[in-house]
């Protein structure tokens, strides 16, 4: 039942879709329409903000603050500063950076307001932080966020006065423990005017900008997001995962105070995170364009909304390759799961034995376990089992991604070698995914779509292949594989960026889903074990390269540079 040429077409299409999904747009030129976001224009601010390190209390930060106040006033905004007191843990961290115990400098937030037609309406707050870590010019973190806010305000003004106020909060001391945000949301009287927040952050120097965090009961908010933002990048899976992580941003403080919001960041070029090399010239202007364009679209929609969206049941949502935004009630996942189960069942009905189905299910479970074991072992060889420099591991992510891809291919070819090309085995391979999808749908429905949507596509395609004729069946199977595998490639890419240095085993799930979609097309490989050995040898070589090379020059200056 395999069609090798169909597999090649599906894989080629999947690669194209994955590239589209993970590639940021080009920067808009300086002569772009005044109402559009232009990364080229925003770079003028980045070059000033990111020309030198500017941690809290430094002369460099005072210069950045003065510049930002001047820029905000030039756009006829109401501008003020607010000072606060640094907490003891924040002072301890700053003293560690400075290498001396000195008096704590005050925290200085910048607050500005672009007046709207109806000033009684709750305002939209754009938030980013103006301080840097010690030793980094921070053109990305958070020069890109601050510059995106400035260019967004300029574009909004060019389009005329908004319905409601648009506020700007440039916080201080974010890198010391969210100090400026804590000060603002604890006691600044202007916090009562805030209706919704858009926060901008980065953890790197490029890549697609993702809206990765919202508050709870986000259904109405995400409906507006989906309508307003062109080429959006956001998933309810990332929102779910981020809730489970210990990470925090300024929006964390706001959420704890009950404010709804959206959080954007890009995490590509991860080696530039907190790096002395995070200069304006190193910043990916496409990532800046991606962040700013989405921020402008969303802010305009919020600022001109007759009423801000209220609380509504969380929705399941994801962008399809950064092109189309898909959002649906979380309970609909059960319907998708049922379609997949019926499709696989119908395809295998009276054409498969229980043994074939069981073997297919066992082989897929084996694939997951073998892939996870291989990813864990090879990652350990790269240095993950010993003492690691966090920033050095971030710098190694591109090599770790290739390493993981090779291990996943090896695991797939190994299992495929022992799996017969029978419909019963293929349907059986889908059984673990159907079970995992049901579990996810029951306990975390907004995070279930990576399981339920692909099994729906795969089950429907396999059933059509049986009942609609050879030509239609092949075409449907190719399209299902192309769409599903393309998405899984992009998801795997982002997972490796996010957690790859420490948890590359997460890539085993996109691999398993891709395998089930490709099995109806993928022929049994010849000399599979020889190819597996070669792939693992190259992956191990990359791991040894990561292990033995010197600490990357991009690591934060305050980190341990020994390896």
Residue 501: the pLDDT is 94
Asked if the structure places residue 558 within a domain, the reply is: no
Render pLDDT for 282-341 as a digit per residue (tens, 0 to 9): 999 999 999 999 999 999 999 999 999 999 999 999 999 999 999 999 999 999 999 999
Same domain for 84 and 147, yes or no, is yes
In a domain, residue 197? The reply is yes
Q: Is residue 407 part of a domain?
A: yes
Q: With 0-12 CB in 10 A as exposed, 13-18 as middle and 19+ as buried, what is 191? A: middle
Q: So what's the pLDDT on residue 2?
A: 55
Residue 496 within a domain = yes
- What average pLDDT does the segment 255-280 reach? 96
Element (H, E) at 10: helix 4-22
d(CA 17, CA 478): 14
**Closest C-alpha to 250, from 195, 185, 309, 192:** 185
Domain-located, residue 335 = no
Q: Name the domain boundary from 285, 306, 329.
A: 329
Is 33 among the domain residues?
no
Same domain, 307 and 432: no
Question: How far apart, in Å, are the Cα atoms of 220 and each of 164, 302, 380, 501?
Answer: 19, 12, 44, 35
E strand map for 86-203: 107-114, 123-129, 166-171, 194-202
Domain with residue 265: its CATH number is: 3.40.630.10
Cα 103 to the chain's mean position, in Å? 38
- Cβ contact 538:382 at 8 Å: no
- Is 35 among the domain residues? no
For residue 350, which phi and psi values (nearest 5 degrees)? 60, 15
Asked if 15 and 69 sit in the same domain, the reply is no
- The pLDDT of residue 4 is 79
378-402 pLDDT per residue, tens: 999 999 998 999 999 999 999 999 9
Task: Please indicate, yes or no, whether residues 95 and 215 belong to a single structural domain of this protein.
Answer: yes
pLDDT at res. 524: 77
Q: How many structural domains comprise the chain?
A: 2
**What pLDDT digit, counting tens, does each position of 14-66 carry?**
999 999 999 999 999 999 999 999 999 999 999 999 999 999 999 999 999 99
Q: What is the DSSP letter of 507?
A: G
pLDDT digits (tens, 9 = 90+) for 230-244: 999 999 999 999 988
pLDDT tier at 419, thresholds 50, 70, 90 = confident
> 276 lies in which domain range?
50-329
Identify whether the C-beta of residue 148 lies closer than 8 Å to the C-beta of residue 42: yes
Q: Is residue 374 located within the same domain as residue 477?
A: yes
- In a domain, residue 251? The reply is yes
- Based on the fold, state whether residues 345 and 297 are members of the same structural domain: no
Q: What is the pLDDT of residue 418?
A: 81
Same domain, 352 and 255: no
Q: Clarify whether residues 138 and 280 are in a common domain.
A: yes
DSSP states of 253-282: HHHHTT--EEEEEEEESGGGTT-TT--GGG
Please, what is the Cα angle at 293 between 185 and 13, to 5 degrees?
A: 125
- The last residue of one of the domains, among 299, 329, 359, is 329
Going by C-beta distance under 8 Å and a sequence separation of 6 or more, which residues neighbour residue 204?
140, 266, 267, 268, 269, 270, 271, 272, 273, 394, 497
Provide CB contacts within 8 A for 543, sequence distance 6+.
378, 379, 381, 382, 403
Report whether 499 contacts 392 (CB < 8 A). no
Whether 421 shows a pLDDT value over 80: the answer reads no
My answer on whether 148 and 273 are in the same domain is yes
Q: What are the tokens at 180?
A: 């400026």
Q: Rounding to the nearest 10 degrees, give the CA dihedral for residues 447, 450, 455, 457.
A: 120
Same domain, 354 and 480: yes
Does residue 387 sit in the same domain as residue 522? Answer: yes
**Are 272 and 325 in a shared domain?**
yes
pLDDT tens-digit readout, 331-353: 999 999 999 999 999 999 989 89
Residue finishing a domain among 277, 309, 329: 329
- How many whole angstroms separate alpha carbon 506 and alpha carbon 495? 7
């Amino acid at each position: 039942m395999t069609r090798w040429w169909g597999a090649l077409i599906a894989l080629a299409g999947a690669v194209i879709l994955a590239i589209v999904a993970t590639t940021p747009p080009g920067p808009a030129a300086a002569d772009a329409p005044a109402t559009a976001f232009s990364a080229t224009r925003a770079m003028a601010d980045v070059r000033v903000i990111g020309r030198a390190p500017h941690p809290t209390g430094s002369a460099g930060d005072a210069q950045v603050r003065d510049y930002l106040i001047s820029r905000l006033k030039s756009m006829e905004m109401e501008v003020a500063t607010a000072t606060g007191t640094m907490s003891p843990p924040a002072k301890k961290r700053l003293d560690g950076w400075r290498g001396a115990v000195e008096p704590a400098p005050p925290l200085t937030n910048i607050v500005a307001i672009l007046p709207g037609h109806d000033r009684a309406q709750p305002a939209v707050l754009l938030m980013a932080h103006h301080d840097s870590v010690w030793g980094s010019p921070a053109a990305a973190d958070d020069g890109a966020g601050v510059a995106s806010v400035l260019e967004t305000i300029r574009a909004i003004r060019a389009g005329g006065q908004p319905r409601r106020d648009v506020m700007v909060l440039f916080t201080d001391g974010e890198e010391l423990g969210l100090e400026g945000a804590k000060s603002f949301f604890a006691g600044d009287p202007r916090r009562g005017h805030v209706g919704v927040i858009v926060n901008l952050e980065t953890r790197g120097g490029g890549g697609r900008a993702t809206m990765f965090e919202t508050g709870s009961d986000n259904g109405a908010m995400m409906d507006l997001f989906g309508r307003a933002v062109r080429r959006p990048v956001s998933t309810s899976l990332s929102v779910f995962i981020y809730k489970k992580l210990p990470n925090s941003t300024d929006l964390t403080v706001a959420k704890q105070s009950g404010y709804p919001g959206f959080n954007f960041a890009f995490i590509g070029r991860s080696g530039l995170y907190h790096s002395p090399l995070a200069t304006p010239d190193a910043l990916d202007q496409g990532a800046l364009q991606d962040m700013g364009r989405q921020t402008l679209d969303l802010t305009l929609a919020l600022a001109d909304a007759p009423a801000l969206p209220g609380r509504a049941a969380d929705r399941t949502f994801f962008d399809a390759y950064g092109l189309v935004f898909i959002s649906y009630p979380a309970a609909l996942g059960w319907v998708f799961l049922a379609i997949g189960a019926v499709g696989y069942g119908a395809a295998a009905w009276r054409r498969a034995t229980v043994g074939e189905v069981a073997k297919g299910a066992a082989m897929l479970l084996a694939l997951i376990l073998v892939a996870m074991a291989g990813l864990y072992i090879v990652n350990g060889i790269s240095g993950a089992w010993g003492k690691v420099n966090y920033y050095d591991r971030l710098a190694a992510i591109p090599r770790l991604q290739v390493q993981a891809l090779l291990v996943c291919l090896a695991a797939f070819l190994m299992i495929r070698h022992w799996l017969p090309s029978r419909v019963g085995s293929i349907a059986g391979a889908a059984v673990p995914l159907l079970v995992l999808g049901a579990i996810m749908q029951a306990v975390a429905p907004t995070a279930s779509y990576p399981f339920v949507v692909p099994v729906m596509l795969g089950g429907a395609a396999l059933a059509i292949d049986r009942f609609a004729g050879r030509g239609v069946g092949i075409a449907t199977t190719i399209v299902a594989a192309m769409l599903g595998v393309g998405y899984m490639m992009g998801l795997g890419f982002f997972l490796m960026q996010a957690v790859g240095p420490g948890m590359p085993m997460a890539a085993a799930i996109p691999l398993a889903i891709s395998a089930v979609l490709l099995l109806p097309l993928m022929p049994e490989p010849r000399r599979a074990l020889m190819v597996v050995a070669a792939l693992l040898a190259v992956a191990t070589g990359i791991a040894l390269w990561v292990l033995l090379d010197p600490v990357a020059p991009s690591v934060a200056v305050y980190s341990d540079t020994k390896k």
